[in-house]
Amino acid sequence: AAGGPKPLPSSGPKSLREMPHPLATSSSEEMGPALTPSPDLLLPRSIADKDLSLPNGTPVDTSSPASSSSLLNRLQLDDDFDGETRDLFVTVDDPKKHVCTMETYITYRVTTKTTRAEFDLPEYSVRRRYQDFDWLRNKLEESQPTHLIPPLPEKFVVKGVVDRFSEEFVETRRKALDKFLKRITDHPVLSFNEHFNVFLTAKDLNAYKKQGMALLSKMGESVKYVTGGYKLRSRPLEFAAIGEYLDTFSLKLGTIDRIAQRIIKEQLEYLVELREYGPVYSTWGGLEVELSEPLEGVSACIGNCCTALEELSEEMTEDFLPVLREYILYSESMKNVLKKRDQVQAEYEAKLEAVALKKEDRPKVPTDVEKCQDRVECFNADLKADMERWQNNKRQDFRQLLMGMADKNIQYYEKCLTAWESIIPLLQDKPETK
Partner 1 sequence: MEDCLAKKMEITVSEAEKRTGRNAMNMQETYTAYLIETRAVETQSEGQCAPVDSLWRRYSEFELLRNYLSVTYPHIVVPPLPEKRADFVWHKLSADNMDPDFVERRRIGLENFLLRVASHPVLCQDKIFYSFLTQEAGWKEMVNETGFQLKADSRLKALNATFRVKNPDKRFTELKHYSDELQSVISHLLRVRARVADRLYGVYKVHGNYGRVFSEWSAIEKEMGDGLQSAGHHMDVYAASIDDILEEEEHYADQLKEYLFYAEALRAVCRKHELMQYDLEMAAQDLTTKKQQCEELATGTVRTFSLKGMTSKLFGQETPEQREAKLKVLEEQIQEGEEQLKSKNLESRDFVKSAWADIERFKEQKNHDLKEALISYAVMQISMCKKGIQVWTNAKECFSKM
* 167 makes contact with partner 1 (CB under 8 A): no
CB of 431 to partner 1, least distance (A): 9
Q: Are 23 and 66 in contact (CB under 8 A)?
A: yes
Which x/- pattern, by CB under 8 A, does the window 6-45 give for partner 1?
A: ---------------------------------x------
**Distance between CA 137 and CA 174 in Å, rounded?**
16
Cβ atoms of 125 and 111 within 8 Å: the answer is: yes
- Do 350 and 230 touch, CB atoms closer than 8 A? yes
Which residue's CB is nearer to partner 1, number 262 or number 339? Answer: 262
Cβ 153 to partner 1 shortest distance, Å: 23
Q: Looking at 41-49, 70-78, 152-160, 277-285, which segment touches partner 1 (CB under 8 A)? A: 277-285
Surface-to-core class of residue 209, CB atoms within 10 Å of its CB (0-12 exposed, 13-18 middle, 19+ buried): middle
Residue (134 or 407) nearer to partner 1, CB: 407
Q: Which of 378, 330, 375, 381 is nearest to 76 (CA)?
A: 381
| Identity of the residue, 157 or 403, whose beta carbon is nearer to partner 1 in the bound complex | 403
Interface pattern 363-402 for partner 1 (x via CB under 8 A):
--------------------------------x--xx--x
Cβ-based nearer residue to partner 1, 354 or 406? 406
Give the range of 150-158, 225-233, 271-279, 345-353 binding partner 1 by CB under 8 A.
Answer: 271-279
Residue type, 195: H
Four-residue CA torsion sign, 102, 108, 109, 113: negative
Write down the least CB distance from residue 393 to partner 1, Å: 12
Provide the mask over 296-335, with x wherever binding to partner 1 is found by CB under 8 A and - wherever it is not: --x--x----------------------------------
The residues facing 96 across adjacent strands are: 107
List CB contacts of 17: < 8 A, sequence separation 6 or more. Answer: 55
CB 423 within 8 A of CB 301: yes
Give the whole-angstrom CA distance, residue 144 versus residue 190.
8
CB 403, min distance to partner 1, A: 5
Residue 421: alpha-carbon gap to chain centroid: 42
**Minimum gap (Å) between residue 384 Cβ and partner 1:** 15
Q: How far is the CB of 4 from partner 1 (least distance, A)?
A: 29
Select the residue interacting with partner 1 from 256, 300, 321, 365 (CB under 8 A). 256
| Closer to partner 1 by Cβ: residue 259 or 354 | 259
* Least Cβ distance, residue 297 to partner 1 (angstroms): 8
Alpha helices in 130-236 (DSSP H): 130-143, 167-185, 194-201, 205-210, 212-219
Short-list 224, 222, 235, CA closest to 345 = 235
Among 82, 154, 266, 360, indicate the residue that binds partner 1 (CB under 8 A).
266
Nearest to partner 1 of 208, 284 (CB atom): 284
- Using only the alpha carbons of the chain, give its radius of gyration: 28
Instruction: Work out the burial of residue 404: count CB atoms within 10 Å of its CB; fewer than 13 is exposed, 13-18 middle, 19 or more buried.
Output: middle
Question: Would you tell me which residues interact with partner 1 (CB under 8 A)?
Answer: 39, 245, 248-249, 252, 255-256, 259, 262-263, 266-267, 269-270, 272-274, 276-277, 280-281, 283-284, 287-288, 290-291, 294-295, 298, 301, 395, 398-399, 402-403, 406-407, 409-410, 412-414, 416-417, 420-421, 423-424, 427-428
